[in-house]
Amino acid sequence: MTLKIGVLALQGSFREHIRALTADDVAAGPVRRPEELAAVDALVIPGGESTVMSKLAIEFGLLEPIRKRIADGMPVYGSCAGMIMLASRVLDGRPDQETFDGIDMTVRRNAFGRQVESFEGQVNISDISGGPFEAVFIRAPWVEQVGPEVRVMGRVTSGPAAGRIVAVRQGNLLATAFHPELTGDLRVHRYFVEMAVSQ
């Protein structure tokens, strides 16, 4: 069976994730409807605006189907807003903001500041060899607290946010606060594909 990875294409950097996956000859395509979700083996939730993504997931009838697929064990990777969408708890979000409630963690929206305070920094990620990532943070979240089943895989290594958690994994779920789809470094996507294949 050929693995097919869907990329949630309601809003945000979904095209860049599709490009990163197909650059490694992975079958990948957009997911906007429940029937498209049903046809994929794994899912990527891109960066973007988490409050808008939440609203659109409800409008497009995807919120509950994605929650169910996550509960049933579907591998999912979320970057930036995708990390927020995978969190069970969100700080500084809208009161009506919904998430897919997959990873037992507390995430703070826009933790690094506004758009003008976006930056690049180095992040070492356990389980992924090849040295540190040059990570792009755009209005990024960070993780303030994790549950016992969550493994911290990466932290910011320098600057005022040194030590902040920016990469985690819980079972089949992976999340980063940064945007590997914008750098040309395919290691995070390859790691996720290997996760998905091994299920």
Domain coordinates of the chain in residue numbers?
4-197
Q: Look at residue 28 and give its three-state secondary structure.
A: strand
- Catalytic annotation, pick one of 16, 17, 179, 189: 179
179 is catalytic: yes
- Catalytic annotation, pick one of 16, 17, 98, 181: 181
Q: Are 82 and 175 in contact (CB under 8 A)?
A: yes
Q: How far apart are CA 192 and CA 195, in angstroms?
A: 5
- Catalytic annotation, pick one of 80, 120, 134, 144: 80
Measured between alpha carbons, how far is residue 142 from residues 5, 31, 55, 91 in Å? Answer: 25, 26, 22, 10
Q: How far apart are CA 118 and CA 96, in angstroms?
A: 26
**Residue with the two structure tokens 């169910």:** 68
Give the pairing type, strands 142-146 and 103-108: antiparallel
117 is catalytic: no
Length of the chain in residues, anyone? 199
CATH superfamily, with its number, for domain 4-197: Class I glutamine amidotransferase (GATase) domain (3.40.50.880)
Query: Residues in the chain with pLDDT < 50?
Result: 116
Choose among 22, 75, 86: nearest CA to 53.
86
Q: How far apart are CA 54 and CA 36, in angstroms?
A: 18
189 is catalytic: no
> DSSP label at 150?
P
Choose among 121, 43, 51: nearest CA to 81.
51
Q: Which helix (H) or strand (E) holds 65?
A: helix 63-71
Q: How far apart are CA 35 and CA 24, in angstroms?
A: 25
Choose among 1, 71, 76: nearest CA to 43.
76
Kindly tell me the sign of the dihedral angle through the C-alpha atoms of 104, 91, 14, 158: negative
pLDDT at residue 116 in the model: 44
pLDDT at residue 9 in the model: 97
